[in-house]
Structure 1
Amino acid sequence: MLNALRKSANSTAGKIVFVAIGLAILAGFALGDIQSLRSGSGFGDNSGTLASAGGNDLTERDLTEAEKTALTQMRQQNPAASYADLVPQFDSFVNDLINERVMTAFAADQKLIISKAMIDAEIANIPGVRGLDGRLSEASYNRWLQQQQLTDAGVRRIIMGDIARKLTIAPAGAVPQVPVGVASQYASLLLEQRDGQVAMVAVEPFKAGLNPSAGDLQAYYAQNRARYTVPEQRVLRIAPINPASLPVPAPTDAEIAAYYDANKATYGGTETRNLSQAVVADPKVAAAIAAKVRGGASFADAAKPAGLAAADVALGSKNRTDYEALVGKPASDQVFAAAKGSVVGPVKTALGWLVAKVEGSGGTPARPLAAVRGEIVTKITDAKRQQAMADIAGKIEDKLADGASLADTAKAFGLTLTDTPPITASGASRADPAYKFPADLQPVLKDGFDLAANDEPIVKDLGGGKGLALVGVGQIIAPAPAPLASILPQVKADWIQKKASDLARATAAQVAAKVAGGASVADAIKGAGSGVIARPISARRIQIAQMPPALQAPVKMLFSLGQGKSRMTAGPQGQAFFIVKLDKITPGNATLQPALVAQTRNEFQRPTGDEVSRQFLAAMAKQVGVKRNESAIAAAKARLSQSAE
């Protein structure tokens, strides 16, 4: 359940998108069922506050801003998105916003320091906040905030909540341990063997001699008109806009030089340090670790008395930028000034007292401008072409907004407009089975079918740098049943399949009744027809997933029965019916299967970690105190639903 929580730990931009689209703000908790978050409101008549966690309020303004941001982000993927798309996610949306405040409040209670520098470093790593020159500036950051419909305070709150998660919940469920005894019990269940009998009543033999009359087919067609309804078809009018067709000025020497200077981190070479590191709260403990390492002890042994394992102190290779973002500039400067084998510290940082040993150094050499000029020219040209695409898209949209027709707009911008044949939403043509909708235009299909008859055409980004496409609706053909005459062979085959299945089911039910009455499976099938066969069946539970789908139905039924019991079940795709009787259960014993026990134990680790994280979040909520203004939340949901209508 909390699988995605740990996976997203290294993507701040991803988390901001998640909060924007109303999924789990901090990588998908989906913990709306934690009862400790559902205590009484305690807000009196203050409907402006929806909830509070440890004094951190979730206000109506916060929720409104989050909803606006969510809609903006959704429209980047689907321009037709509306507030109606947010309504089904409202409850989890609110719970996730509350969870964010729970973690922030808990971190503050535990005196876990989340400094402005730490948040600034995360902001600097968000894709899109830098300008075309690669520099991070207040102007480029503000432009990004405006594009994403976010505020600086909102972004900082989200990042603060994520850092709080890394410091609290992430470690709690990181490496759960499942007892061998527990894993052994489940492994033994996998080895359990069951023996019984199965009768199979195949449908195919019952088709012999079935020949429907015209009246039978007409009646069956009338009863199943929805089954034979042809979905809506449309003629789409599409004009592709190829990026290569847009002229852009060649990059100037000044632009190339500016780009090179702005990306010194990329082209200027990198210096790295392979580090062992410990960060502790007590300066005396840090001094003791440093003294032991300087005295010749391994870093892992020196840090062990402080409760740190070898994996905790092995930091690995870090460049200066990443390391400075982690520990701050003073500590980073000392570490990168130290030679191989040197011990740095104790040094006071925002996270505590730091001791580090330089195990090795490395990096990549700088690349001169002449060596990377071609690469920079390509990047600047691509950026200019993307800007040119954005400019022409804006001009096209303006012309359409002024009332120009699709044909006139395409002609004005020198675009080639083509019409598809009548196609379904999948791009298939019923009139021409050989027709294939162009693969490079696939992204416009959904938008073309989302447009109403009178909607103005839209400009769609084809993704992957493939350009844009102007798309509109030429004709809409409403859904309707296909004429019976045109699908007569299909209707006849369906009628025969249905009648044969009914006959097979009735026969299987008779066999099942005899078996339930005490007859053996072999005796129960006597007189049922040559197409009905009986066989012994034996399997271990672990084998079910490895079986072909056609065999899984009776075997799964075997493992759902009590000893001596029987039951009928349908096979896959309606091809047969099975009557299964369980004769014997042999318990499994995993004591001689250590590899299976170990595998089961490993498979249990992830859900166990998820549950630990879940319970820890619930405990955090209980400690900081969560109050929900249920009437205000219900009113906010009602307002969102009304705006979606």
Structure 2
Amino acid sequence: MKTFRRLSKSKVGTGILILFLVLILASFAISDISNFRSGGSSLPQNTLAKVGDAELTAADLDTAMQRRLAAVRQQNPQATYADLAGDFDQIVDALIQERTLWAYARKHGFTVSKKLIDAEIVKLPGVRGLDGRFSEANYQNFLRSERLTDAQIRREIETAILQRLVIAPLAANTRLAPGIARPYADLLLEQRSGNLGLIPFAAFTGGPAPTAQELQAFYRQNAARYTVPERRSFRIARITNDQLGAVAPTEQEIAAYYQQNQATYGGTEKRVLSRATLPDQRAIAGIVQRAKAGGTFAAAAAPAGFSASDVSVGPQTRAELAAKAGEAVAAQVFSAPAGSVIGPVQSSTGFDAIKVESIQASTGRSLADVRGEIVEKLSADKRKNAIADLVGKIEDALADGSSFEEVATANKLPVLATPPLTRAGAAFDQPDFKLPPEFAGVPTASFDIGADDEPVVEPLPNEAGYVLVDVVEVVAAAPAPLARIEAQVRTDFIARRAQDQANAAATRVLAAMDRGTPMAQALGSLGQAGVRPPEPIEIRRGALAQFAQQGQEVPPPLRILFTLAPGKAQRAAGPSGIYLVKLDKVVPGNAATNPQLVASEVTGLQRSAGEEIALQWIAAAQKELGVTRNDDAIRAARTRILGGAPVN
């Protein structure tokens, strides 16, 4: 749940379009809406919900969960679907909200043009080629990496644009009166004072050494703490350029590539032109006659009503002229020498008279100048194609029944055998073992392969080649042998005993305080070395917000201080001991002289109000469209994806 909420605060923009869309909609907390649910339904088994005419299918949910897991694994490579149990219901609800927006827009004729969606696709990362233009091949690679189809990404982009145009303005334009924020500002200025004591765990770490029976019992009771996660041993065969031999382009291929890319290497010729165009061919013929007779083209065109600025076209490439006048005109102009007058010639706008004032020669590079970079480019392409062919050959051999050993031997692949590794690549039995850096991601990518499954080919990052991976053994998760971790168990036992004793001491101190004994006296009566006298504490409620601004949790003692009534005391567990918090005095806040604080609270409340309005809009849209949930299918999907994982 916390991870989902944190990611849901991402900004809406070009980059967000590559994330799974429910996070965009969840930025308005719309996943909290739970109205219009139905226990049973007449929906097909694979349809989880229907909003108007828009359906949420099991395949849609599978795609969203896969992408969610991929995002979580960027922070925690060992994450599994079980770690998403707390997010499951929110993801389902948010997907339904996405369909609500899409269906509502379709019903009311609010559509997003294909041209606008294409413009957003061009902005996606990695879809442009080396020339800076959209590359269909790169776009297909992007879809494969995101596990999406073209239709799916277009649907997501369309809904994201609708969200930006429909829902975002609702939330952004909310306005509240300052008087509504005043009580909240007063609350932030509230000041509390009291006493803070600490009973440190370290004060109780002495005592007799634990017996073998105590350690054995503690080990059994805390078996989960000492469980080593599932591990798998692999055989990894690297597929690299070393297996390809010499790969180099021929001279004919180099020359052909140079000719095919003249726009890049050959440069572009430009011609400075003067041009007059009219629908009257005779008038244009008069301009041509006068221009050929001598003088400037501007003077020749003046009798027809043209000024000098009207006929001055300036430098033009052949493509630019073709776009203005047509390819037939461009062909004549770019085959004529400087000073030539062409016309009358029929163009896309009428009849033209054109003079080639001067020629700006292309500034291209010769084949000799660019041969090195062409060889490098073609060699890289050949290696990429050759290794792709080799991977295809290996996959075909595996499909035909060849074993890992046979494929590795036939293709001279170097093989690395690993000890049992966790998903993160750690070797519990051989802590000094380190995977080569290029194989660091192999366990994570291949951890779901079973010992009885066929070997698979996995890509290495940064286009470093491929690896053929075979799982040799699967070691189930199990507690580590006590004999091996006895020192750790002994340390943990002593720490737990100290915590229990510190808690018991805190109980005695709180009981004494309830009878009216001051905290200092109650702590002193413990007679325990290492327990210090309490310290005074005084803080305003608004200071707690600083912890959140710095991405930190509010310390438990401070959090408890603002839940107590005056004269009351309570304990709070900390990392180094048990805190005792007693509240003595509360001074109410008064924001009458702090207009900046009131204004800040107005801003915060307007944001919350905007989110609420967005919620209400979605709820109203759902009421109009009608929402049907197939709860049986949703529960089945949860079981299929998460297994028996509990809700967080």
TM over 0.5: yes
Show structure 2 runs of 5+ residues with no match.
269-322, 325-361, 644-648
Identity between Structure 1 and Structure 2 (%): 40
Pair 1:259–1:581, CA change in 2 (3 A): farther
1:155, 1:369 → 2: CA distance? Answer: 41
Give the C-alpha shift of residue 212 in structure 1: 2.2
Residue in structure 1 matched with residue 423 of structure 2 by the alignment: 425
Residue in structure 1 matched with residue 220 of structure 2 by the alignment: 222
Give the C-alpha shift of residue 509 in structure 1: 0.4
Residue 461 of structure 2: SS of its match in structure 1?
A: coil
186-195 vs 369-378, which moves further: 369-378
The answer as to 2:566 corresponding to 1:563 is yes
1:50-71 per-position Cα deviation (integer Å, ceiling 9, x unaligned): 7665xx5124xx7266357668
1:32-82 per-position Cα deviation (integer Å, ceiling 9, x unaligned): 4425554899x97898987665xx5124xx72663576689799999x999
Residue in structure 2 matched with residue 629 of structure 1 by the alignment: 628
Residue in structure 2 matched with residue 457 of structure 1 by the alignment: 455
Give the C-alpha shift of residue 606 in structure 1: 5.3
Contact 1:40 1:627 in 2 (8 A): no
Give the C-alpha shift of residue 243 in structure 1: 5.3
Contact 1:8 1:27 in 2 (8 A): no
Contact 1:425 1:446 in 2 (8 A): yes
**What amino acid does structure 2 have at the position aligned with 1:577?**
I
2:100, 2:629 → 1: CA distance? Answer: 17
- For 1:20-419, what aligned pairs fall within 5 Å after superposition? 23-24=22-23, 31-35=30-34, 37-38=36-37, 53=51, 57-59=53-55, 63=57, 66=60, 95-96=93-94, 98-107=96-105, 112=110, 114-123=112-121, 156-174=154-172, 180-181=178-179, 185-242=183-240, 246=244, 248-250=247-249, 252-255=254-257, 258=260, 382=380, 384-419=382-417
2:374, 2:538 → 1: CA distance? Answer: 67
504-513 vs 534-543, which moves further: 534-543
**What amino acid does structure 1 have at the position aligned with 2:224?**
A
Show structure 1 runs of 5+ residues with no match.
269-328, 331-365
Pair 1:222–1:139, CA change in 2 (3 A): closer
Pair 1:92–1:569, CA change in 2 (3 A): closer
Residue in structure 2 matched with residue 534 of structure 1 by the alignment: 534
Residue in structure 2 matched with residue 469 of structure 1 by the alignment: 467
The answer as to 2:515 corresponding to 1:513 is no
1:5, 1:111 → 2: CA distance? Answer: 30
Contact 1:191 1:587 in 2 (8 A): yes
Pair 1:93–1:539, CA change in 2 (3 A): closer
Give the C-alpha shift of residue 566 in structure 1: 1.0
TM-score normalised to structure 1 length: 0.67
Residue 435 of structure 1: SS of its match in structure 2?
A: coil
Residue in structure 1 matched with residue 585 of structure 2 by the alignment: 584
Pair 1:10–1:214, CA change in 2 (3 A): closer
Contact 1:133 1:262 in 2 (8 A): no
Contact 2:191 2:587 in 1 (8 A): yes
Give the C-alpha shift of residue 482 in structure 1: 3.4
Pair 1:243–1:540, CA change in 2 (3 A): farther
Contact 1:192 1:541 in 2 (8 A): yes
The answer as to 2:615 corresponding to 1:614 is yes
Give the C-alpha shift of residue 444 in structure 1: 0.8
**What amino acid does structure 1 have at the position aligned with 2:626?**
K
Contact 1:87 1:641 in 2 (8 A): no
Residue in structure 2 matched with residue 300 of structure 1 by the alignment: none
1:93-117 per-position Cα deviation (integer Å, ceiling 9, x unaligned): 6645543443345445666463343
1:577, 1:377 → 2: CA distance? Answer: 70
Contact 2:198 2:579 in 1 (8 A): yes
Give the C-alpha shift of residue 186 in structure 1: 3.8
Contact 1:51 1:626 in 2 (8 A): no
1:463, 1:621 → 2: CA distance? Answer: 44
Contact 1:25 1:100 in 2 (8 A): no
**What amino acid does structure 1 have at the position aligned with 2:625?**
V
**What amino acid does structure 2 have at the position aligned with 1:495?**
F
CA RMSD of aligned residues (A): 4.9
TM-score normalised to structure 2 length: 0.66
Q: 1:14 aligns with which of 8, 13, 18?
A: 18
2:488, 2:59 → 1: CA distance? Answer: 54
Pair 1:219–1:27, CA change in 2 (3 A): closer
Contact 1:400 1:457 in 2 (8 A): yes
Pair 1:66–1:109, CA change in 2 (3 A): closer
Contact 2:237 2:414 in 1 (8 A): yes
**What amino acid does structure 2 have at the position aligned with 1:586?**
V
1:114-151 per-position Cα deviation (integer Å, ceiling 9, x unaligned): 33433444455556878999887999989998998867
**What amino acid does structure 2 have at the position aligned with 1:618?**
A
Contact 1:233 1:422 in 2 (8 A): yes
Give the C-alpha shift of residue 195 in structure 1: 1.0
**What amino acid does structure 1 have at the position aligned with 2:169?**
P
1:310-360 per-position Cα deviation (integer Å, ceiling 9, x unaligned): xxxxxxxxxxxxxxxxxxx99xxxxxxxxxxxxxxxxxxxxxxxxxxxxxx
